[in-house]
Amino acid sequence: MTTLAPSSFDVRPLEQEDRDQALDVVWRAFGWGYRQDAADDVFTSRSIEADRTLVAVDGSGGDVVGTASAYSLRMTMPGGDLQPIAGVWMVTVAPTHRRRGVMTGLMRRQLADLAAGGEAVAALWATEASLYGRYGYGIASWRQPIEVDLASAAFTPHATGLAAGSAARLRLMSLSDALPYLAAVHDDVLGTRPGTLARDADRWQFLLGGGDGRPPAEIVVALGPDGPTGYAAYRVREGKPGLVPAGVVAVQEVSATDPATHARLWRYLLDLDLMSTLTCESRPVPDPLAHLLADHRRMHARLDEALWVRVVDVERALAARAFAAPVDLVLDVTDDVVPANAGRWRVVVAEAGGTATARRTDARPDLSMDVGDLGAAHLGATSLHVLALAGRVVERTPGAVAVASAAWSCSPTAHTAEIF
């Protein structure tokens, strides 16, 4: 089916003959300049799902002027269950066709396709924060980019003892050698934190194998008596020559199945020779590293948004996550893009840890909200109480915000380590 987007742009699935033009649009839209032949390797490594990729085609000239795609991902939801989500990416518009309705046509078509039988939840990383709220996405998780002064990165006595007590030995490995251990650790922790994504071999290769102008990651694996207990992936940037070390340890990810291994891996990273600074672009909020350091102020952090989540199907989405407390409330939801979500829903959770049933009702609402705010609360990291204080969630029945906020909350806080 072909849908006519505003300003005479046809939005339709990607066809083989569209591929080169589509890649050209993506390259220019992200400011990467003219596409080189080698650039195609990046998209090969990211495994574009052609059947989930849309293009906007200029109705007069037949040129591809916009793209939108989605990965078929699985994400840990509150409660620990792994659920399918649509990982939206490659949303671009040619610079010659901005502000002509192209992005709106693409996003509306993508959401219509999902509502017709796709995943109940979509998620994305936003390159521009002002864009996606208009399509019903809300900020559902947060991250901390950090920078640590290595000259003052001493541990507390407790953390020092914890790291020293680890029975694991550390080994540097290539990705191919480390992959079975990485997968074992990741699978072990997958259900423990909402927002964590399942990974296959291609995903590991994309994340740690190099490409996009990056060298392969250094990988250190912690091996305990009974198998792997953790790993760290990082890259080292040599500093300018000088009288004092000036290198940078750029940490991509630290994962561990127990506190001692976690402390041991961080101590390794903080003690690398000839380095002056440690950075990491995505740490959870709050970050346990702050509680290992004797002076946590040496870890400079700022708060950034991470995942934006869109509830595509209210009934299915609420049935696919667990709630921290029982609840019986009526939500009045507005949704200007997916009309089937709009209206009043009675949401019932029988007991703590249970999922919700959401059914249509004509009863008086207890809370009113936009679908974007329902998406923001979906992983439990953005509180309905905070959204209410911002005036985005409106309390119709006294006490309803407190009840709902407790039910939708989740510990540990949602975190997604990688950008897709």
- Looking at 273, 304, 335, the residue that finishes a domain is 304
Does residue 242 lie in a domain region?
yes
| Integer Cα distance of 375 and 349 in angstroms | 18
Q: Residue 192 corresponds to which amino acid?
A: T
Q: Are residues 155 and 269 in the same domain?
A: yes
Does residue 404 lie in a domain region?
yes
Q: Are residues 159 and 113 in the same domain?
A: no
Q: Are residues 342 and 278 in the same domain?
A: no
Does residue 414 lie in a domain region?
no
Q: Domain total for the chain?
A: 3
Does residue 160 lie in a domain region?
yes
Q: Are residues 171 and 257 in the same domain?
A: yes
178 contacts 219 by C-beta, under 8 angstroms: yes
Does residue 192 lie in a domain region?
yes
Q: Are residues 287 and 250 in the same domain?
A: yes
Does residue 67 lie in a domain region?
yes
345 contacts 330 by C-beta, under 8 angstroms: yes
Q: Are residues 14 and 158 in the same domain?
A: no
- Annotate 146-167 with DSSP letters as a single string: EEEEGGG-PBPHHHHHHHHT--
Query: Domain with 55 in it: what CATH number?
Result: 3.40.630.30
Does residue 419 lie in a domain region?
no
Q: Are residues 229 and 356 in the same domain?
A: no
Q: Are residues 344 and 241 in the same domain?
A: no
Q: Are residues 47 and 100 in the same domain?
A: yes
- Looking at 304, 330, 356, the residue that finishes a domain is 304
| Integer Cα distance of 289 and 195 in angstroms | 19
Helices (H) and strands (E) in the chain, counts: 11, 21
Give the 3-state secondary structure of residue 319. coil
Q: Are residues 293 and 376 in the same domain?
A: no
Report residue 239 CA to chain centroid gap: 31
212 contacts 191 by C-beta, under 8 angstroms: no
- pLDDT tens string, the chain, 420 residues long: the values are 444 444 588 999 999 889 889 989 998 888 877 776 655 665 555 678 989 999 999 977 789 999 999 999 999 999 999 999 999 999 999 988 988 999 999 999 999 999 998 899 999 999 999 999 999 999 999 999 999 999 999 999 999 999 999 999 999 999 999 999 999 999 999 999 999 999 999 899 989 998 767 899 999 999 999 999 999 999 998 877 766 778 999 999 999 999 999 999 999 999 999 999 999 999 999 999 999 999 999 999 999 999 999 999 999 999 999 999 999 999 999 999 999 999 999 999 999 999 999 999 999 999 999 999 999 999 999 999 999 999 999 999 999 999 999 999 999 999 999 999
Query: Domain with 331 in it: what CATH number?
Result: 3.30.1050.10
Does residue 338 lie in a domain region?
yes
- Looking at 304, 324, 346, the residue that finishes a domain is 304
Q: Are residues 264 and 287 in the same domain?
A: yes
Strand residues in 209-264 grouped as ranges (E): 218-224, 227-237, 247-256
322 contacts 81 by C-beta, under 8 angstroms: yes
Find the domain containing 266 and state its range: 146-304
Q: Are residues 400 and 360 in the same domain?
A: yes
Is the pTM higher than 0.85? yes
